[in-house]
Structure 1
Amino acid sequence: MERSFMSIRRFKWFPPVAGLLLMAGVTACTLATAGNDHAPLPDPAVNATPAQGDQVAVLAGGCFWGLQSVFEHVKGVKKVSAGYSGGAANTADYDRVSDGDTGHAESVKIVYDPAKVSYGQLLKVYFSVATDPTELNRQGPDVGTQYRSVIFYGNDEQKRIATAYIAQLSAAHAFPDAIVTQVVPLKGFYAAESYHQDYAKRHPDDPYIVFNDAPKVSHLKQQFPDLYVPDHEVVSVLLH
């Protein structure tokens, strides 16, 4: 019941339309990545200075199921939690956030080892395969401010790296349309309900996951082979 309810909430018309598209020969990869067919993005010209100890990045851009799944497969990432950022603590609830008027965006909190992956590399993954930064207040089938593209910076260095990278990508015309990703201070991150955590891992056959999120992980493997962590290693990290 939980699984079908969540799919209906996210994309009420998806299953029948998906069936018609498959009959017409449209692949999941094509459907899920429309608008993301760009040349490989450059490395960030501005990146983080060496740091000791685990660091945290908070990013938003569409459904947090897909974001969590992508970043769990990135080398150096120790833990990814789905949640809400941008609004107040008392509205950090899925039903309230789904109304689109709380200020929250579905987000992920990424705990990572800066000796293995840098903040700039995480942003490169984010812009390359995790989200379409040119879509305003939506991502693919999901529409509303809660699905907007946002980098929530935790300190001045993260702000500097994020704004510089967006400027770099814009100057290079890396995308056919303007980047609308917001760069705003992190005021708080509130973990989502337990049934949202690792949703893609627990429901790999859900049509929403098959068409919208699984292709992102496949693209991560293709575009970032040196950073990609296979499924069996992701499980060991999560259980650590």
Structure 2
Amino acid sequence: MVSFRRILGVVARQAFLYRRSFSRILDLFYWPTMDILLWGFLTLYLERGSFQPPRFVSFFLGALILWHLLYRSQLAVSVSFLEDIWSRNLLNVMVAPLSLAEYVLGLVLVSLIKVSLAFGIMSGLAGLFYGFNLFRLGLSLVPFVLSLLALGWSIGFVTMGLIFRFGQEAEILAWALIFVFLPLSAVFYPLEVLPDFLQKWAWFTPSAHVFEGMREVVTRGTFPAKHLLWAAGLNVVYLAFGIWFLYRQYEYARRNGLIPKIGE
């Protein structure tokens, strides 16, 4: 039976890491702030240029904030797992009376906390410096955010599974794997600018439907029901695969005695 107390124990363990680590705390605030400042100035330049930009340029920051949610949700799960490897604590976690489900749910809760902080920082700065309000998207924002979080966790689970299978050599995937989805997601440009064969692949990427749906809300003012249904259905598949893949690789590592060797 899943214990909420043990899940909170995983969260508390991660919180203790941040309590006395200035570099970890800085990481929570530094990159969201730098991203919103850099791309915010670029947006101002495009809007004040001599040409007439399309309407969705005004919401360029919205795409950036949503992409950051996806990136941070995946990174928080993967890096929180890596924290246990770097500190030589993974074996202790694995032999503790803690199931894999409880451990993963704890990492997901940590991810929610980190993503909420990043979202608050970026949304606040966008409104303060550039007068941009992401909440103009209305109720559409809720399924957009949930879809991106689900995809980020799915990628995080796959990353964890690969680290269980191949050891610490695969840790670079915690930062690299998510960027495979960046060109297919059409974050900063419409989907039709992609070549035809890439458009077909992008159609099966939940994030592409999220960003296409956001542009539909901005440019047409309509609720993107089709895109959100596609994103929800695909996320069910992605999450199921991510959980299955993580469990299979964990069992493989446990049977073959690989867990004590991870991080050596």
Q: Tell me whether the two structures share a fold, i.e. TM-score over 0.5.
A: no
Q: Which has the higher helix share?
A: 2
Structure of larger gyration radius: 2
Q: TM-score of the superposition, structure 2-length normalised?
A: 0.23
Q: Which has the higher strand share?
A: 1
